[in-house]
Amino acid sequence: MMIQVIAAYFVTIFFAIIFNTSKNQLLISGLVGAVGWWGYLMVIHSNYSVITASFVGAFLVSLLANLFSKLRKSPVTIFQIPGIIPLVPGMGMYKTLYAVIEEDYNLVAKHLFETLQIAGSIAVAMMILFSLSTLFDQYVGKKV
């Protein structure tokens, strides 16, 4: 599992390079992605569903992204976009497609629905953090 987390760290860094993040933010972006993937794996290994795991992962990614954006006075996007990449439900999309090719429409419905649930749980996690950070900006800190 450690290897997967370390790989996630570097994957996030390389994605950050693909998205042209500046050099001094790269290591932080990697950290955000690695922690998110660590949370995801921890939840999966405790036998919860992929949907819960994605929620936890996206929650950690957004939390750290917001935190670092306040600390380093740069847009949240810079950390959030590369960080969320390992959690994107590529596997679900692929399984849906594969079922379409096999013409097994029961499986299509199952995988499609699961993919949408994963995407939804990531979205909800991001929403919660976004709302919390707006609250924080209004009552505690100055907006970055």
Partner 1 sequence: MDSKKLMNFSLAVGEVMLRNGAETYRVEDTINRILKTSDYKGIESYVTPTGIFATLEDEDRDHMTVIRRVNNRGINLYRIELANAISRDYCNRSISLNDAYDSILKAAHEPAYSKQFIVASIGLAAGLFAIVLGGSLHDAFATLVAGLALGLFQVTMLHLGVSKFFIDLIGSFMTSWVALFFIHAIGLGHSLDLIIISSIMPLVPGVAITNAVRDTIHGDLVSGASRILDAFIVAASITAGVGIALSIFNSLYGGIVL
Q: Which is nearer to partner 1, 71 or 91 (CB)?
A: 91
Residue 9 in tokens: 């760290």
Residue 139 in tokens: 């009552």
Q: How far is the CB of 90 from partner 1 (least distance, A)?
A: 5
* Terminal C-alpha separation, the chain: 36
Running DSSP on this structure, what letter comes out for residue 73?
A: T
Q: Which is nearer to partner 1, 60 or 96 (CB)?
A: 96
Q: Which is nearer to partner 1, 48 or 98 (CB)?
A: 98
Find out whether 131 and 62 touch, Cβ atoms under 8 Å. Answer: no
Query: What's the one-letter identity of residue 94?
Result: Y
CA distance 120 to 99: 21
Q: Which is nearer to partner 1, 98 or 136 (CB)?
A: 98
Which residues contact partner 1 by CB under 8 A?
Answer: 3-4, 7-8, 10-11, 14-23, 25, 37, 73-75, 77-78, 80-81, 84-86, 88, 90-91, 93-98, 100-101, 119, 122-123, 126-127, 130-131
